[in-house]
Structures are given as C-alpha cells and as structure tokens.
Structure 1
C-alpha cells in the first residue's frame, strides 16, 4: 500500500511536538510550513524578533537551542509563523543544554544528548538512583539480542534482553540501563541471568525509568560479561528503539504479535542521533509465527527502530 508522505510528515511532527527533541520538532515544523530559512528570518525581523540564519540553522540541527531572553521571545513568534500551537516548541527546551561532565562518554557508547529526547529526565532519574551518566558508561554493549511480545490489546508486555557486555573499567559490578515511554511505564524486571535487580528510579515528567542490574561478580576492564533479563511493561507502543554505540558488533530484534492483533505494516528505520529525521522506511515481513525481525552485523552507531502500524 503506498505511503502518504504528507500524512507521514504530519504524524512525525505531531509526535515530535509531544516527545521532542526540540531540534527535530523545529525542523519538521519548518518543513511543514513550506518556508525557507531566509523567509522565516525575514518574517521574524518584520515582527521585531530578529534571529540570524545561522542561529536558526543551529537550532534545527541541535547544535544550540534558544536560551537567552531575546531568543525565547523570538521562539514564541516563530511558533506563530510556522503554525504550531503557542508553547509547543518552547515546552521542549527543558533546562539549558548539559555541558561538561554530563557529556562524558565511554569510547564505545553514544552521548546521552545524542541518544535520548529530554536527556534532562535521564539525568534526574539517575540522580534519584544515587548515580550519574558515568554509570551507564561503565560497560559497552558488544552484542544485543531483544525479543519483544505484543498482546491482543496492542500492548507491549515483555522485552527480553540477552546482552554481551564489555567492562570499561576495573571493578565494574553493575549494568545501568534506561527505558523511556510516553504511553506506559516500566513495571518490573524479571528472569535475570548472570545478574540480579538493584535500584530503580523514575522521572514521571519525561517517562524515564532507570535501573541497575548487579553482576554476579565484578569484572575487570576489557572483560566480557553475558547477562539476560526481561523488562515487563504495559505500554501501547507503536515501535521499539535501541541505541547502539561504536562498540556494538551484533544487534538483533524480534517482535512477536498476538494473532488477535496483527499489524497491517511493520518497518524499520535508522537515525544517526535523536535530533535527526528517521531515514528511509524499509518494510519488514511478518513471518508465519507472527514475528518480525531485524539483524545487523557491525551496525553503524545510532538509533535502530522497528515500528508497526495498526491501520
């Protein structure tokens, strides 16, 4: 069935205005308006809210965001120019962009601001757990295999993980993970192998849940560790995303649907970072076991998404 590009763009804009990030929502809003940056800059100047073309370009690429009072005033005018509700873009800004220690990363993983919309929520959830972003970077995911189940009510019920991890420093004794949903929450972590549940905290404003799994024994830098666990959810999701860093060698995902709620379409997309528009949608067949799957060897760093439509 042909995909209506205008409908798809409208859906992406609506989703971005709800979940962010700001850069993606702005880029899609500008595209929807049909206005060039030159024309937008002219209209802003007409309304005494001048913004340079370079600043507009940086805002929509994610390199910078409006923070000064004059930039925030201009953003309010810009919302009217591109035809989005008042406050729709400014509400996605959150606090000033994180700097310094927040952006620290291990050699194998993506930066948090590249990987997640609203990384401020991730920071708060980690802080409530008594730790910070450095906890996530104690290990690198070398191999990731996920199996998810979607029930007859179109709700994702389980996400089973089988991971091969590499310790990035001596004395690594835990794996710290994050789960984010705008339509549900992380209810429980069960069926652990090679680890046991530790602390778990949430940030209700942004839908983040952070959790830790305590390894059976501490690992030295460079050691490989295998763990397994299942995240039980109750979310009416339309996709599953996984963030992969430079250390990843194998990635596979399978989503099994209940026979009473089979999707009409399953497809995969790739984003270099959360601020980018998803690349080409590639159709994924639904197998005889009602399972869709995707596997990648030596994946390019970025965000891999398997998505589906119900109608």
Structure 2
C-alpha cells in the first residue's frame, strides 16, 4: 500500500521536481536500500558510493559530471522510472570552474585516500563507510616536540546529520611513522570511544566515536577529542584534514617547539591526502613558533599546512 502511494507521488514529482525529491520518492517506491542500489550500479560498471547517493537524494549535492549522469540514467532503469524522468529534472550541466558549483561535489572516500588500499576493509569492519554526518566546521590544534615530532592533536568538530538515526562519527587518522606506537584518544567530549581498527604498516587508524545522543536529520552536535602521540617519533612535515564534502570553515593551528622551528611553511590544497599540492601559499611563522591557516568554505579535498626544516 505504501509503495503504491509513493509511486503515485513519484508521477507528480517527475513532472514538477525538484530532482532530489523525485529521486527520494523513487527510492522509497522501489523498496531498495542505498547499499543495494550501489551494488547494482557497480554490477553495471558505475561506481557511486552510498554517501553520494544519500547526498543526491537529500539535495546536498547534484550529479553534474558525465559519469554521474550516466549513473542517474541507470538509476531510472533500476528504480522503474521512465527514461529521462530524473535526468530531465537536472537540466543542462552548469558551468564549472575554480569557484563555480563547488557545493555540488562529493569526493569519494576511496579517491581522497586513494593510496591507502587497506582503508576500505578497515571501514567495512566498522559496518559502513558513511556515518551520516556532515563536517560543518573543524578546528585542529597540533603541537610538536623539540625533535619536530608531533605530541598532541586536539580536534573540535561541528557536525550535522544528513539522515535520521545518526549515532556515531567515524574518524580516519594517518600517521607518518610505522615504527611508532599508535596515538591514544584522550579527553573525548560529547561522545565516547568505540571500536578501533588499524593498519600498522601505514600507519592508518579508523575509529568510531559514539555520540551522546542520536541525531535526527538536520540535527547538530559538537565533539572534541585529543590524540596523544608516543615519544621518539619521526619529524613531522605536515598536518591537515581531508574533506569528502564541502564544509563552512576549517581552522588549523600548529605550535612548534622553540628548539625546532621550520624555516618556512605554506598552506596547501590537494585532491588526495598524499597528493601533490595544487596550491601553496606562504604562511607566516610567529616569533613564538606558531602558525595557523583559516580555510573558508573548503570544498572536497585535503587542506593542510606543510613546512620545511632546512
């Protein structure tokens, strides 16, 4: 009965739009989960993550690229929508450029972390690659010791739920020294530490933080945690954060020890965590050995501070 009602609503939405409402109704009418839809698309040679499908469905992003539109045409077939029923609601492709249409992009996790082949398996062990949270704003504060190795990273995140029933935040962490013990979580606020999965050869850590309350779609929360690094680590040359989807603000502070201050520093953007920077602007190092960068409206990709010791 409910599926028939969705089918009736779908006919109206295919005439009037918007795209996200029609797609959402088509998914409901089909009775298929997003994971099942993703699997069927993959069987036809089109890879689209559950996160991206969820963002399309909720209007957070729109399929603009040719492969994305190809996926929409396959969605029409899978969901029993008339040919061009969904594609026609997208209209013509919008112009693209450095500042144009940035909010329509969602970067696949596999691309953002593309050199870390063990990451998909680590995420799968936690049950899902999508925690249903949008990183609205992030603030990282990184401190280094007299040898130039990281000692502490304090993170504050402003999070917004993209669906109902969100109760955890999944965190991906990358280290630089496989011979060093993994960092420990401390001072977790508004959440509690859940499962940890790691690949010591990278090193790479995936952690889940259970929120103090379950969020409905549009609900927000603030969480904070500190990572404490063991002593005798390798000299660090970078600190940053990857964003799979657009955010409002990212603030990054780095405090160097007075006995180990780099000769130069720059703020960088790259399309992947280990990618070469697309841009790099010089950043002033204060007399106290501190630097910071403020990234307003960061689009998908990796924002960081990188420095040189000599």
CA-atom RMSD in angstroms: 2.2
In structure 1, C-alpha distance between the alignment counterparts of 2:228 and 2:264, rounded to whole Å: 24
- The answer as to whether partners of 1:153 and 1:261 remain within 8 angstroms in 2 is yes
Question: 1:152 Cα shift?
Answer: 0.7
Q: Secondary structure of 2:183's match?
A: strand
Select the structure of larger CA radius of gyration. Answer: 2
Paired residue for 1:5? none
- In structure 2, what is the Cα distance between the partners aligned to 1:117 and 1:150? 27
Matched, 1:181 2:178: no
| Residue 113 of structure 2: aligned partner | 116
Q: Is the 8 A contact 1:241 1:305 kept in 2?
A: yes
Describe the shift of the 1:221–1:100 C-alpha distance in structure 2 as closer, same or farther (beyond 3 A): farther
CA drift at 1:100: 6.6
Uncovered stretches (5+) of structure 2, i.e. residues with no partner: 1-44, 61-105
Alpha-carbon shift at residue 276 of structure 1 (Å)? 5.3
Aligned counterpart, 2:74: none
Alignment of 1:237-276 (within 5 A): 237-273=236-272
* Aligned equivalents of 1:230, 1:303: Cα separation in 2: 20
Shift in Å at residue 160 of structure 1? Answer: 0.6
TM-score, normalized by length of structure 2? 0.62
**Correspondent of 1:126 among 114, 123, 126:** 123
Q: Secondary structure at the match of 1:134?
A: coil
Deviation for aligned residue 1:102: 7.5
TM-score, with structure 1 as normaliser? 0.62
CA contact (8 A) 1:162 1:228 kept: yes
Q: Secondary structure at the match of 1:126?
A: helix
Kindly tell me: are residues 162 and 278 of structure 1, through their superposed partners in 2, closer, same or farther at Cα, counting changes over 3 Å? Answer: same
Residue of structure 1 aligned with 2:50, choices 83, 104, 114: 104
Q: Do structure 1's residue 149 and structure 2's residue 147 form an aligned pair? A: no
Post-superposition offset of 1:297: 1.5
1:192 Cα offset (Å): 1.1
257-266 or 282-291: which moved more? 282-291
Structure 1 residues 155 and 274: CA distance shift in structure 2, 3 A: closer
Partners in 2 of 1:301 and 1:116 — Cα distance?
Answer: 12
Contact 1:112–1:119 at 8 Å: present in 2 too?
no
Structure 1 position 228 matched with structure 2 position 174: no
Match of 1:165 in 2: 159
Alignment equivalent of 2:203, drawn from 207, 219, 235:
207
Residue 206 to residue 102, structure 1, CA distance change in 2 (3 Å):
farther
- Contact preservation (8 Å) 1:121, 1:206: no
Q: Which runs of 5 or more residues in structure 1 are unaligned?
A: 1-98
How many residues are matched? 210
1:190 aligns with 2:190: no
Structure 2 CA distance for aligned equivalents of residues 101 and 188 of structure 1: 35
Larger displacement relative to structure 2 (202-211 or 100-109): 100-109
Residue aligning to 1:279 = 278
